[in-house]
């Protein structure tokens, strides 16, 4: 594989702007950027580090002021990840990493560690909907015997930016526009795409966000990633780089865009309800924990920098090693006390796990702690039950503070002391052997605000992602960009994005330009010329996991006079395949079946559209079908199921409704006269061959 072309420091400083332009030129001296106290800022793109690839420095007051101001902008709702859902469960280690780490949670095989996992959207507020196109947070709090470990990541393995100093700008750009307060929970607007066009480093992330990964079918069907490169430290103080991966046992599945939009109206709480109901009935979601492990020499040999959060390590180069599983088996008892008050901190790491010099990761330890102080209003937020260390005691000499709930005894609130504390002379002391120790990485470098030369390639992995997708997924991605840019009113914003896309893939840029009815602009000059990498099928959704109905939902639309035996047969076959089944009727009271027996309904037709199911069956009587032909909700039930590429089982009596909905026969249309089991195969996947017949894609 070709090495990344290395650039000069001068070129590196140009990596942030389209066409190599980094900063706006000030038209007057008073137009220059300053801190809140008027100090002119020399570099607003890079945090102060010990060398280009070194750790960020606490003395960087520009970084701290900018992030601190950002962290305190909203009270008490989270600034990002405000809309979340969570559950309790356990993590069980199945293979020891004792060779690489001294962290007991990763070395004691068979031990179960209590966890609390929170999933979330990023851009929307707490009152927004579950199904927008957005990154999803994937945060796991493990209550280990050596203190809490918070693995705070996303359902996408890379991020928009390379340096934490740009995070406030990113979120300001994607949030509601400052002058009008909309759009809510959406990236399809000018400020977001203006920022993205000026930050080519975001291009790889944009490929993911415009893919189907950003519109998941269920929280239970998302992969999770630690995003950053971390370090594992063993008993010999030897370090190994590590990437963390959560892989759902149900497989990864997404919605279609039209489906996601309609779900937002049909059930704004679709993901929250799905997770709660699955756990409530005992269908506990499960993920495997996998790791990618690299030595320093192996990392140095890669054609990209693993400290760059906009890059991933292809599984084909370093396969994922599965070491454990996580099962979520209990819903919160109180949403506010647990889900809302949960405070995740990247600084929560047991001995044997450590951060790397990733400049995005370097800003998070300060930012998260600062945010929790603002949001929860006290330095004692660790005493809230959901945040307390449970696998071990927490004990120190910190006292007082707002909302102190513990009553400490003794005179001493300092360390060291020689007074009797809690039955021990002098109280708790540090543990030089078993305590947390940072990896002894050399950091003697010149203080600089500079991006490492190895961070300069912004397009090769974006190209890798796009070219690794199936044709269907490529079409969805291109169509998503067309949709988003069509919401942008400023032509120069659209042109800049198109110029960047030409560095990713010429065919992608052309199809997006065609979808916008725009001429293709000149290619924006990259800071480092992209190169081709071998395709990575692991980056796809389609074909990565086997077709299955397990964990999915099937809706059976019924009417008065329907065949009860057939309804039961379809229900039994779907449940045997692992699906949940709901009966949908014109009225919530249910229907009177052929023979006079009453069948209760789980949902009323107008309020339970087909978008909430993965497959549907129509078990109707002749008179019942006739009554539905004048009901728009019934026609939409069928039309949307067909348009969203879902399998449709039907009785002969339902044919008039199929005809009115414009449904044409294909492999996903199953005559239930062939038997209920004939419906299960098509119901286990979408009918992708149908898509060109029902919608135009870029």
The architecture (CATH level 2) of 553-694 comes to 3-Layer(aba) Sandwich (3.40)
What was the pLDDT predicted at 423?
Answer: 56
CA distances from 657 to 45, 639, 660, 672 (A): 59, 9, 5, 15
| The pair of three-digit structure tokens given for residue 444, joined into one six-digit string | 């003697």
CA distances from 102 to 4, 111, 335 (A): 34, 15, 35
Alpha helices (H) in 505-547, listed in sequence order: 506-516
Q: What's the pLDDT tens digit per position in 589-611?
A: 999 999 999 999 999 999 999 99
CATH H superfamily, domain 455-539:
Catalase, four-helical domain (1.20.1370.20)
Relative to beta strand 648-650, strand 669-671 is parallel
Q: Mean per-residue pLDDT for 466-482?
A: 98
Q: What's the pLDDT tens digit per position in 171-188?
A: 999 999 999 999 999 999
Tell me the catalytic residues.
Answer: 81, 154
- State phi, psi for 120 to the nearest 5 degrees: -160, 155
| Domain range summary for the chain, segments of one domain joined by + | 60-383, 455-539, 553-694
What was the pLDDT predicted at 10?
Answer: 42
Taking phi over 0 as left and psi of -120 to 50 as alpha, with beta for the rest, 396 belongs to beta
What was the pLDDT predicted at 361?
Answer: 96
Global model pTM greater than 0.85: yes
Helices 257-266 and 632-643: angle between axes, nearest 10 degrees: 150
Q: What's the pLDDT tens digit per position in 209-219?
A: 999 999 999 99
**Domain 60-383 fold:** Catalase HpII,  Chain A, domain 1 (2.40.180)
Calpha distance 273→419 (Å, rounded)? 54
pLDDT of 296 higher than 70: yes
Calpha distance 10→298 (Å, rounded)? 28
What was the pLDDT predicted at 420?
Answer: 67
Q: What's the pLDDT tens digit per position in 93-122?
A: 999 999 999 999 999 999 999 999 999 999
**Weakest-pLDDT range from 147-156, 163-172, 397-406, 531-540:** 397-406
- Whether 289 and 322 have beta carbons less than 8 Å apart is answered as yes
- State phi, psi for 555 to the nearest 5 degrees: -110, 135
pLDDT of 265 higher than 60: yes
Q: Mean per-residue pLDDT for 401-415?
A: 86
What was the pLDDT predicted at 683?
Answer: 98
Q: What's the pLDDT tens digit per position in 334-382?
A: 999 999 999 999 999 999 999 999 999 999 999 999 999 889 998 888 9
Q: In the predicted model, what is the mean pLDDT of the chain? A: 92
What was the pLDDT predicted at 205?
Answer: 98
- Provide CB contacts within 8 A for 333, sequence distance 6+: none
pLDDT of 36 higher than 60: yes
Neighbours of 300 (CB within 10 A): 11
pLDDT of 4 higher than 50: no
What was the pLDDT predicted at 32?
Answer: 81
- Strands (E) across 286-336 are located at 286-294, 321-330
- Whether 137 and 115 have beta carbons less than 8 Å apart is answered as no
Q: Mean per-residue pLDDT for 681-688?
A: 97
Q: Which residue has the tokens 């707002």?
A: 402
More confident residue, 339 or 405: 339
- Provide CB contacts within 8 A for 295, sequence distance 6+: 240, 241
- Provide CB contacts within 8 A for 380, sequence distance 6+: 401, 402, 403, 404, 405
pLDDT of 442 higher than 60: yes
Neighbours of 340 (CB within 10 A): 20
What was the pLDDT predicted at 14?
Answer: 41
Q: Is there a shared CATH topology between the 455-539 domain and the 553-694 domain?
A: no
| The pair of three-digit structure tokens given for residue 334, joined into one six-digit string | 């109180």
The residues that bridge with 266 in the sheet, in sequence order, are none
Residue percentage of the chain with pLDDT more than 70: 95
What was the pLDDT predicted at 618?
Answer: 98
- Whether 452 and 307 have beta carbons less than 8 Å apart is answered as yes
- 458 pLDDT tier (thresholds 50, 70, 90): very high
């Amino acid at each position: 594989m070709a090495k990344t072309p290395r650039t000069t420091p001068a070129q590196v400083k140009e990596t942030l702007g389209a066409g190599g332009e980094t900063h706006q030129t000030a038209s007057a001296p008073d137009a220059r950027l300053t801190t809140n106290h008027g100090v002119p800022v020399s570099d607003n793109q890079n945090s102060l580090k010990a060398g280009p690839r070194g750790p960020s420095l606490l003395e960087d007051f520009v970084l701290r002021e900018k992030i601190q101001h950002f962290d305190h902008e909203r009270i008490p709702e989270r600034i990002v990840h405000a809309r979340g859902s969570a559950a309790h469960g356990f993590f069980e280690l199945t293979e020891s990493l004792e060779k690489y780490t001294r962290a007991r949670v990763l070395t004691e095989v068979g031990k179960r560690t209590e966890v609390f996992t929170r999933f979330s959207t990023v851009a929307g507020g707490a009152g927004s909907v579950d199904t927008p196109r957005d990154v999803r947070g994937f945060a796991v709090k493990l209550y280990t015997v050596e203190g809490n470990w918070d693995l705070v990541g996303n359902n996408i393995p890379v991020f928009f930016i390379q340096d934490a100093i740009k995070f406030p700008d990113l979120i300001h750009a994607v949030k509601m526009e400052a002058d009008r307060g909309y759009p809510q929970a959406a990236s399809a607007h000018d400020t977001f795409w203006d920022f993205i066009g000026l930050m080519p480093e975001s291009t790889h992330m944009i490929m993911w966000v415009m893919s189907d990964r950003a519109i998941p079918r269920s929280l239970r069907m998302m992969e999770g990633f630690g995003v950053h490169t971390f370090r594992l430290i063993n008993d010999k103080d030897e370090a190994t780089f590590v990437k963390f991966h959560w892989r759902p046992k149900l497989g990864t599945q997404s919605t279609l865009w039209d489906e996601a939009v309609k779900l937002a109206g049909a059930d704004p709480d679709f993901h929250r309800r799905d997770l709660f109901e699955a756990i409530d009935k005992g269908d506990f979601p499960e993920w495997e924990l996998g790791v990618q492990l690299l030595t320093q020499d192996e990392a140095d040999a890669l054609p990209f920098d693993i400290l760059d959060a906009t890059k991933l390590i292809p599984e084909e180069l370093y396969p994922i090693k599965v070491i454990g599983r996580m099962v979520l088996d209990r819903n919160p008892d109180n949403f506010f006390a647990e889900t809302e008050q949960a405070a995740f901190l990247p600084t929560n790491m047991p001995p044997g796990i450590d951060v790397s010099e990733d400049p995005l990761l370097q800003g998070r330890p300060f930012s998260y702690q600062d945010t929790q102080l603002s949001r929860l209003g006290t330095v004692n937020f660790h005493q809230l039950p959901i945040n307390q260390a449970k696998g071990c005691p927490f004990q120190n000499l910190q006292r007082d503070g707002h909302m102190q709930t513990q009553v400490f005894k003794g005179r001493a609130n300092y360390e060291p002391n020689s007074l009797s504390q809690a039955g021990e002379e002098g109280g708790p002391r540090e543990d030089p052997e078993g305590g947390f120790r940072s990896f002894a990485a050399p950091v003697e470098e010149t203080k600089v605000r500079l991006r490492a030369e190895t961070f300069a390639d912004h397009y090769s992995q974006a190209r890798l992602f796009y070219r690794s997708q199936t044709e269907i997924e490529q079409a969805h991605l291109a169509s998503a960009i067309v949709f988003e840019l069509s919401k942008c009113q400023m032509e120069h914003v659209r042109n800049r994005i198109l110029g960047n896309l030409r560095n990713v893939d010429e065919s992608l840029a052309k199809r997006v330009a065609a979808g916008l009815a725009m001429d293709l602009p000149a290619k924006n000059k990259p800071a480092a010329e992209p190169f081709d990498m071998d395709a990575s099928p692991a980056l796809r959704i389609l074909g990565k996991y086997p077709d299955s109905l397990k964990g999915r939902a099937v809706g059976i639309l019924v009417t008065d006079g329907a065949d009860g035996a057939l309804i039961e047969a379809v229900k039994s076959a779907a449940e045997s395949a692992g699906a949940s089944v709901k009966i949908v009727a014109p009225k919530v009271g249910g229907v009177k079946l052929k023979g006079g027996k009453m069948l209760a309904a789980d949902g009323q037709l107008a309020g339970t559209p087909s978008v909430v199911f993965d497959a549907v069956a129509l078990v109707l009587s002749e008179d019942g079908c006739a009554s539905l032909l004048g009901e728009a909700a019934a026609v939409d039930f069928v039309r949307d199921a067909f348009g969203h590429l879902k399998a449709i089982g039907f009785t002969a009596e339902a044919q008039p409704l199929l005809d009115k909905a414009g449904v044409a026969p294909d492999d996903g249309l199953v005559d239930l006269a062939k038997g209920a089991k004939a419906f299960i195969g098509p119901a286990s996947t979408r009918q992708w061959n149908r898509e060109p017949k029902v919608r135009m894609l870029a």
